[in-house]
Amino acid sequence: METGALGTAYAPGQVILRQGTASDCMYVILEGRVEIYLEREGNEVSVKLCREGDFLGEVALFNREAHSASARTLDGARLLTIDRKSFMRRIQEDPTVAFRLVQSLCQRVKELTGEIGVLNRVVQECLHEQLRQHETRDA
């Protein structure tokens, strides 16, 4: 990790935040790509790929709870770290910052709602198929 003129440079594969740990800052990607992934029973499941201009860890600014996912750079990245105090000061200086964050969060909710709908359809199709197979066996 190298701190430069603006932001911090992370090496390829370097973990930025880890699932289950708490913090009070968010990150804005200035350069590079960051993978968001879940750690379950020793396995990793990729959830999202973030690029320049995206942000992550923002929930920590509000609830100070443990991160629900981990994040690591793919091929190196430069990120700006914004702690809660700096974020609140920036909102006081320019309230549109909060509005833009809310817009981004609303877009994420919309995307996740769509993904839930797709997953629900897949689960329903699997259940119907299992029921048909069970009925065919019993017939």
Q: Which residues pair with 55 in a beta bridge?
A: 28
Tens-digit pLDDT profile for residues 79-110: 999 998 998 898 899 888 888 888 888 888 88
Query: 3-class SS at 95?
Result: coil
The whole-number pLDDT of residue 105 equals 84
Report CA-CA distances (Å) from 138 to 39, 100, 129: 40, 57, 14
Predicted TM-score of the model (pTM): 0.75
**Encoding tokens for residue 31?**
């350069």
DSSP state of 65: P
Query: What is the C-alpha to C-alpha distance for residues 68 and 7, in angstroms, rounded to an integer?
Result: 24
